[in-house]
Chains A and B, each alone.
Chain A
Amino acid sequence: MVWSSRDPGAGDPGSIRHQAQVRTILAESISQTSVVAVQSVVTAQGTAEWTGLGATAFFETAAGFLPEIAVILSGLENDAAALYAYATEVEAIKNDAFALTSTESNVTSDLYRWNQKLSSLESLAFSSIDPADKAENLQEQQRYEGLIQGATWTIRDIGRQWDELASRRTSADSACIARLTSGSSRGGLSTASDSVGLSGKALLDYLAGLSATELAILLAQHPELADQIASIDSATVSQWWASFDDPQQPGLVTATQQSLISGIPFVIGNLNGVPLARRVDANKLNIAAARDELADQLAVEVAAQDPDNARIIELQGQIAVYYGLLNDTMTFYDGENVEVTITGHNIIYFDADADAIAEYSGLFDPITGGVPSTVHSLGLYIPGMKSTLESFGDEVERSEAFVNEYKASVAMITWKGGTFATESNMAWGPDAAALGSKLEFFSHSLYGMPPNVDLVGMGYSYGGAVLGNAEAAGLDLARSIQISGAGMGYNVTSLADYPNSSNAPHYSFMAPEDYTVGLSVGLNAGDLGHGASPVEMPGVIRLETGWLDIDNQSLGQVTGHEAIWDGKSTAHRQMERVLTGGKVELYAEPEYIITYAGPPVATNPILDPDYKPVWQDVPGGSP
């Protein structure tokens, strides 16, 4: 509604009061019920015999509700008071405007009548010849001219009074808006500290001033902020996060940090610059939320009572995966190689909608929450095509095998940061390039990693192409290995195409009879293909895949696409050596023997009784 200067009292004071009353009643109800009930729980802490960690958290959480509810009450009471005052003023303006309208109408009517009379007297003055009548006429004219003059002044004053009423309405509107947008009404979300227009550090600082509830409200109302926050550089985020650390209690998650984790877990769980351990905290909330969402969907499907509903099986499987992510126990090793068991996976990237997840295998530094300095090699493993959230656990087990072997000196990240290709698009270069860009962006999560930690890329099959694309996008690595990799990256023709890792040692291997990748590697036909072949590109050191069991060569050679993962194989040892440093066995080039009756026959050098492996040291690695 827009009021006008001729109607400054427009509006309905009764309805405004009703809105005030709604808030008053709601505030009273909450005050008399919720506050009393929560307070009774908090008070019970002093007398209850329920002790232990669970009880402490329970009572602390309950106590935390009281200030939250206080903000709700403050808001409702503030708004009610603002509306009552506003209704009173609008009503007063309305009444004054009504009186003024009446006065104006009367004066206008008098003025019209007096003008008519004056015109009549002036006409008579021309027709009259009697001097006495003329004098009387003139006297009457003067009297009416006086009345008209007075009425004119009154009308002018009425105009001024209309202006005053308009000014009062403007003031009433402004005063009401000021109260409705104040901190008393909206808590930390008052317009005085509006996030609009903020960016970078200023935006982060604004977030840190809000409660967990307010953060959730802000992101619900402005979902676009999530992308805006995610784009802030990791150095800025890292410094900002650390500014809330308690120097007296290093490693403790402070109240501000906890509010951010609880309020906007989706943002914090994937925000580069936030310590990895805190991303894990946030992602536990995200996974629980995703699990609950699936459980709701499952309830709907079950209610439909269709015994052939495949969706039920699918949902149950997904829920089981999320349950495992939250409840599985794993054992890693601290800096003294002492076993430490943790509950719940270290999920450092999670976006169910984007089919994205990444897990850190190892322990975090208890102070920094990041990669500990006892780690010398951090493997970044990217699995192959058709990797899904459901199959992700199997991929993580491959990473854990390295950690279990090398304990505290090795940690691993298993990354599936989006939907991986299936048979239908496995050769489509741009898709792998898009995943590579995401991987490069994800690598900024390692900002602040101790300088002694070598980041080692390990891309398997389609994941090799993703790794190559990430390097082409700027991923910086100490070294890398293409594990039966599908390509060095879309349009990549040489290591010079990697802006930050061209000088890093690059290794690769591919077993004989690998028909999964071997037949298509090196294909480049427009957007089909993943760039140069990892086993042929100049500068990449090809390694031997060797035997299925190094200690029992009678079991035969590693062949195909999967056997390389056998923990006893030469291929697996090659991966370990690239990861941790040590000697690797170079690829034994076959010789091609010309035959009379057919195509050339390739020799199999390692089967030669006189075969002698050629070794090469992997630079870097363990000190």
Chain B
Amino acid sequence: MSVSHLVVSADDIHELTASLTTAADALSTSSLDALVFLNQSAIIASGSVIEALGASASIQRLRIELTSANVETLSASGNLAAARMLTEDLLLAGQI
């Protein structure tokens, strides 16, 4: 880790990653299940429309889940960097 990393505090990075966690939560905790059609939904519209909607919903659901997971991963990597930085700070301060 280069010295230049030390000009920012671990808390700053935690703040950044907290935003990402919020972003990931909003992506993953929204009513994703509503995007998946139940069987009875076939009575609400033409079968061909329901089929197209179901396929789109499936793609969108996967897209949301993958993006959410990627955001979470970045957040975790930021927290890891912050933890390492904090350790270095403490080492420099002679507390470890």
Name A's B-contacting residues (CB within 8 A): 1-3, 11-12, 15-16, 19, 22-23, 25-26, 29-30, 33-35, 37-38, 40-41, 44, 48-55, 58, 61-62, 65, 68-69, 71-72, 75-76, 79, 83, 86, 90, 169, 173, 176-177, 180-181, 185-187, 189, 213-214, 216-217, 220-221
Q: A37-B26, A51-B7, A52-B1 are in contact. Are A213 and B81 (CB under 8 A)?
A: no
Would you call B30 and A2 a contact (CB within 8 A)?
no
Would you call B63 and A75 a contact (CB within 8 A)?
yes
B63 surroundings in chain A (CB, below 8 A): 68, 71-72, 75, 187, 213-214, 217
Name B's A-contacting residues (CB within 8 A): 1-2, 4-5, 7-8, 12-13, 16, 19-20, 22-27, 30-32, 34-35, 41-50, 52-53, 55-60, 62-64, 66-67, 70-71, 74, 77-78, 81
Query: Could you say which of A65, A76, A90 contacts B71, with CB atoms under 8 Å apart?
Result: A65
B64 surroundings in chain A (CB, below 8 A): 30, 72
What are 7 A-B contacts defined by CB distance under 8 Å?
A: A1-B47, A12-B44, A41-B19, A49-B8, A50-B13, A177-B49, A189-B59
Would you call A180 and B52 a contact (CB within 8 A)?
yes
Query: Could you say which of B2, B24, B26, B67 contacts A213, with CB atoms under 8 Å apart?
Result: B67
Query: Could you say which of B5, B27, B41 contacts A34, with CB atoms under 8 Å apart?
Result: B27
Query: Could you say which of B20, B45, B56, B58 contacts A90, with CB atoms under 8 Å apart?
Result: B45
5 nearest A-B residue pairs (beta carbon): A33-B26, A37-B23, A15-B44, A50-B8, A22-B34
Expressed in whole angstroms, the Cα–Cα distance for A33 and B13 within the complex equals 19
Query: Could you say which of A16, A40, A169, A217 contacts B19, with CB atoms under 8 Å apart?
Result: A40
Q: A26-B30, A213-B66 are in contact. Are A1 and B42 (CB under 8 A)?
A: yes
Would you call B19 and A11 a contact (CB within 8 A)?
no
Most buried by B among A12, A44, A177, A221: A177
Q: A22-B35, A26-B31, A48-B8 are in contact. Are A34 and B26 (CB under 8 A)?
A: yes
B78 surroundings in chain A (CB, below 8 A): 58
Would you call B12 and A48 a contact (CB within 8 A)?
yes
Would you call A44 and B45 a contact (CB within 8 A)?
no
Residue of A nearest to B3 (CB): A52
Query: Could you say which of A2, A65, A83, A217 contacts B53, with CB atoms under 8 Å apart?
Result: A83
Residue of B nearest to A2 (CB): B47
A49 surroundings in chain B (CB, below 8 A): 7-8, 12
Residue of A nearest to B58 (CB): A221
B13 surroundings in chain A (CB, below 8 A): 50
A186 surroundings in chain B (CB, below 8 A): 56, 59-60
B77 surroundings in chain A (CB, below 8 A): 58
Q: A1-B46, A58-B74, A83-B53 are in contact. Are A41 and B30 (CB under 8 A)?
A: no
A-B CB pair tally, cutoff 8 Å: 170
Would you call B56 and A79 a contact (CB within 8 A)?
yes
Residue of B nearest to A62 (CB): B74
A187 surroundings in chain B (CB, below 8 A): 63
Would you call A176 and B60 a contact (CB within 8 A)?
no
Residue of B nearest to A263 (CB): B66
Query: Could you say which of A30, A58, A76, A181 contacts B81, with CB atoms under 8 Å apart?
Result: A58
Expressed in whole angstroms, the Cα–Cα distance for A11 and B50 within the complex equals 11
Q: A2-B46, A37-B22, A76-B60 are in contact. Are A181 and B71 (CB under 8 A)?
A: no
A37 surroundings in chain B (CB, below 8 A): 19-20, 22-23, 26
Expressed in whole angstroms, the Cα–Cα distance for A26 and B61 within the complex equals 11
Expressed in whole angstroms, the Cα–Cα distance for A55 and B16 within the complex equals 11
A29 surroundings in chain B (CB, below 8 A): 26, 30
Would you call B53 and A44 a contact (CB within 8 A)?
no
Would you call A3 and B74 a contact (CB within 8 A)?
no
Would you call A86 and B67 a contact (CB within 8 A)?
no
Expressed in whole angstroms, the Cα–Cα distance for A558 and B37 within the complex equals 71
Expressed in whole angstroms, the Cα–Cα distance for A176 and B56 within the complex equals 12
B8 surroundings in chain A (CB, below 8 A): 48-51
Would you call A69 and B67 a contact (CB within 8 A)?
yes
A51 surroundings in chain B (CB, below 8 A): 4-5, 7-8
Q: A15-B44, A50-B5, A55-B5 are in contact. Are A33 and B56 (CB under 8 A)?
A: no
For the complex formed, measure the closest distance between the CB of A64 and the CB atoms of chain B, giving whole angstroms.
9
Expressed in whole angstroms, the Cα–Cα distance for A176 and B52 within the complex equals 9
For the complex formed, measure the closest distance between the CB of B40 and the CB atoms of chain A, giving whole angstroms.
9
Q: A3-B46, A11-B45 are in contact. Are A181 and B67 (CB under 8 A)?
A: no
Would you call B16 and A181 a contact (CB within 8 A)?
no
- Beyond known contacts A34-B22, A34-B27, A221-B59: 11 more, CB 8 A cutoff: A22-B31, A26-B32, A29-B26, A30-B64, A33-B23, A34-B23, A37-B23, A50-B5, A50-B8, A65-B23, A69-B27
Residue of A nearest to B61 (CB): A217
B46 surroundings in chain A (CB, below 8 A): 1-3, 11, 169, 173
Residue of B nearest to A14 (CB): B44
B43 surroundings in chain A (CB, below 8 A): 1, 11-12
Expressed in whole angstroms, the Cα–Cα distance for A22 and B60 within the complex equals 13
Would you call B44 and A30 a contact (CB within 8 A)?
no
Expressed in whole angstroms, the Cα–Cα distance for A173 and B47 within the complex equals 9
Would you call B56 and A185 a contact (CB within 8 A)?
yes
Expressed in whole angstroms, the Cα–Cα distance for A68 and B32 within the complex equals 17
Would you call B67 and A68 a contact (CB within 8 A)?
yes
A181 surroundings in chain B (CB, below 8 A): 52, 55-56
Residue of A nearest to B85 (CB): A50
Expressed in whole angstroms, the Cα–Cα distance for A213 and B60 within the complex equals 11
Would you call B41 and A15 a contact (CB within 8 A)?
yes
Expressed in whole angstroms, the Cα–Cα distance for A40 and B26 within the complex equals 15
Query: Could you say which of A25, A34, A52, A220 contacts B62, with CB atoms under 8 Å apart?
Result: A220
Expressed in whole angstroms, the Cα–Cα distance for A181 and B35 within the complex equals 15
Residue of A nearest to B50 (CB): A1
A75 surroundings in chain B (CB, below 8 A): 56, 59-60, 63
